[in-house]
Each structure stands twice: as C-alpha cells, then as structure tokens.
C-alpha cells in the first residue's frame, strides 16, 4: 500500500493555489491506486517551532546533557523524520512568500535535515540517506518565475528541490500555479495549468 505524505504550508485555508494543486495530484494518484494511504501534515494548524537553543542542544550535544525541553524538541524532530521515512510519495505545498517558501515549511526542513539521520557529511559533500521516494512540490505565486526576468528570484520550488536532493531524493517534480496576482484571467489560467500538470503526472 503506497503512502503519500502531504505537507502543506499555505496559510490561505480557503482558496490556496498550492493546496489546490497538491489536492489535484493526490486525488488523481489515489484514483488510480485506491489502496493509497494519505497522511496529512498541516504546518499551519500545527506549526513546527522555530529552531531555538533547545534544538541546538538536542541535535548537537550528547543525551546526558539534554534537559526536558531539548528531549521534547528531539522527539518532535524524530517524529517528523519517521513520518518522512514511512512515506513513498511526498507532496510539499508552499506559497511563495517574499521569493521563498513559507516560514512553517522552513521550520519543518530545519527539523528534518539532521546529519546522521537524513544525510551525512562526507569528503565529497553531503550525501542523502533517503532513497526510492517520489516528491512533488506545488508552488503558488503571484508572479511568474518559470520563465522571464524574475526567474532568478525563484527560491521556492528550486530551494525545496535542492533540499530534497541533500537528503537523497532526486525524483522531484515542481508544479507551479503562477501569475496569480497579475489579473483574474491570469490567476485562473495559472491555477488551471498547475492543476492540469498535477493530474497529468499523477497517473
Ligand atoms: C506575505 C506574502 C508574501 C508574498 N510574496 C510574494 C513574492 O515574493 N512573489 C510572488 O510572486 N508572490 C508573492 N505573494 C503572493 C503569493 O505567492 C500568492 O498569493 C500565492 O497565491 C500564494 O500561494 P497559496 O495560494 O497557495 O497561498 C506573497 C503573498 C504574501 C501573503
């Protein structure tokens, strides 16, 4: 039974494009594989805490130096990593906020990128410890970044793709609903294009 882990970070709970594109992918995937289990990780309703002193202690000191707060931080990070390991397909939905990903998604990344757990440092740079998973990234943005003069400002889907590569996942597709703030027509077109591509790759 395949497991999809859907990780959503748009604070727009009513009309989010990244959530809609993610849903199009998941619905189509499940329609052709009805025994799929979908696990929802909503980073807006349950935000991961920002990395603080207890995380540093938890991640970088021996267990005997941990206090209750660092043990709690470690438990949360371990749980996120276990959830990630259990999934066959990851669907990461993010709005573009100031050219980057949602801050909740960044906090989740800060919790799952752990040396010795999800990647190792080597002489040749970081080597990922995960494999065999597919990942789909759904980005919603007001402007257009897949082409044109703003391409270099895309630190959202491209960043997530690079992060996934660090932990060993290279079967990654970026889906874009873009141009959403340009005009009502452009928004409709941008969302429809993202959803159509999501359905096309999900079968
Ligand atoms: C705080 C904030 C920052 C934003 N920054 C950008 C940006 O840098 N570039 C852009 O194209 N759109 C930007 N937008 C517009 C969002 O990307 C757009 O509303 C998109 O629909 C968000 O995805 P969602 O619908 O899944 O929430 C921003 C919106 C907000 C609320």
Closest ligand 1 atom to 100 CA: 8
> What band does 94 get if pLDDT is binned at 50, 70 and 90?
very high
> Considering the entire predicted model, what is its pTM?
0.97
Can you say whether residue 177 is alpha, beta or left, with left for phi > 0 and alpha for psi between -120 and 50 degrees? Answer: beta
Residue 140 is predicted with a pLDDT of: 98
Nearest protein Cα to ligand 1, atom 10: 142
Mutate which of 142, 148, 156 to test ligand 1's pocket (most atoms within 8 Å of Cβ)? 142
What would the mean pLDDT of 128-150 be, rounded to a whole number? Answer: 97
- Over the stretch 43-87, which tens digit does the pLDDT of each residue have? 999 999 999 999 999 999 999 999 999 999 999 999 999 999 999
The whole-angstrom separation of Cα 162 and Cα 156 is 10
CATH for 180:
3.40.50.360
Domains contained in the chain, number: 1
What would the mean pLDDT of 33-43 be, rounded to a whole number? Answer: 97
Mutate which of 10, 14, 93, 98 to test ligand 1's pocket (most atoms within 8 Å of Cβ)? 98
Distance of CA 162 to the CA centre of its chain: 11
- Over the stretch 146-177, which tens digit does the pLDDT of each residue have? 999 999 999 999 999 999 999 999 999 999 99
- Asked if residues 77 and 59 have their Cβ atoms less than 8 Å apart, the reply is yes
- Asked if residues 95 and 9 have their Cβ atoms less than 8 Å apart, the reply is yes
Taking Cα atoms as reference points, which of 173, 171, 104, 181 lies closest to residue 150?
Answer: 181
Please give the structure tokens belonging to residue 152.
């270099």
**Domain coverage including residue 54:** 3-202
149 phi and psi angles, rounded to 5 deg: -75, -10
Nearest protein Cα to ligand 1, atom 30: 97
Q: Ligand 1: which residues within 6 Å by Cβ?
A: 10, 12, 16-19, 95-99, 140-143, 180-181
Distance of CA 25 to the CA centre of its chain: 14
What value does the mean pLDDT of the chain take? 97
Q: Which residue has the tokens 């906020």?
A: 97
């Amino acid at each position: 039974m395949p497991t999809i882990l859907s990780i959503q970070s748009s604070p727009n709970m009513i009309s989010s494009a990244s959530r809609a594109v993610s849903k199009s992918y998941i619905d189509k995937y499940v329609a052709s594989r009805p025994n799929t289990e979908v696990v929802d990780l909503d980073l807006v309703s349950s935000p991961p805490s920002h990395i603080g002193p207890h995380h540093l202690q938890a991640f970088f000191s021996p267990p005997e130096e941990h206090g209750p707060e660092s043990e709690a931080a470690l438990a949360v990070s371990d749980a996120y990593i276990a959830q990630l390991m259990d999934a066959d397909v990851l669907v990461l939905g993010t709005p573009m906020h100031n050219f980057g990903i949602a801050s909740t998604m960044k906090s989740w990344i800060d919790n799952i990128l752990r040396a010795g757990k999800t990647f190792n440092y080597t002489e040749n740079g970081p080597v990922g410890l995960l494999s065999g998973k597919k990942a789909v990234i759904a980005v919603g943005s007001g402007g257009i970044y897949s082409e044109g003069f703003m391409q270099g400002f895309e630190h959202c889907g491209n960043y997530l793709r690079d992060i996934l590569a660090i932990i060993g996942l290279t079967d990654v597709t970026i889906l874009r609903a873009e141009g959403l703030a340009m005009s009502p027509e452009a928004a409709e077109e941008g969302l429809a294009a993202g959803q159509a591509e999501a359905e096309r790759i999900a079968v």
